[in-house]
């Protein structure tokens, strides 16, 4: 792991504009043109990681593709 630190602003506690604060990072152009350029880190147990990896392999997709699909199903875009 590199020693490079990325500053993250403090999240507003009771700010009614919290969603705006969260979305402001989506407009940052970091040079990536990929559709999925926002990184999400999630700690899971090794056993759960293994189950996810096996399920993805059985379906012929990557873990990332499978988890994106699950997240899209659970959190559909309300603007569509």
Enter the tokens of residue 47.
């056993």
Distance, CA of 10 to CA of 18 (rounded, Å): 11
pLDDT for residue 28? 55
Whether the Cβ atoms of residue 14 and residue 8 lie closer than 8 Å to each other: no
Residues 6+ apart with CB under 8 A from 66: 52, 55, 56, 59
pTM recorded for the entire structure: 0.53
Enter the tokens of residue 74.
């659970």
pLDDT digits (tens, 9 = 90+) for 21-34: 666 665 555 554 46
pLDDT digits (tens, 9 = 90+) for 53-70: 999 999 999 999 999 999
Enter the tokens of residue 68.
């994106």
pLDDT for residue 31? 52
Distance, CA of 73 to CA of 76 (rounded, Å): 6
């Amino acid at each position: 792991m590199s020693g490079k630190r990325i500053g993250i602003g403090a999240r507003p506690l009771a700010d009614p504009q919290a969603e705006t604060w969260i979305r402001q990072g989506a407009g940052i152009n970091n040079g990536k043109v990929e559709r999925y350029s926002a990184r999400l880190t999630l700690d899971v147990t090794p056993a759960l990681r293994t189950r996810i990896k096996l399920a993805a392999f059985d379906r012929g997709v990557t873990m990332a593709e499978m988890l994106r699909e699950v997240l899209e199903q659970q959190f559909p875009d309300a603007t569509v």
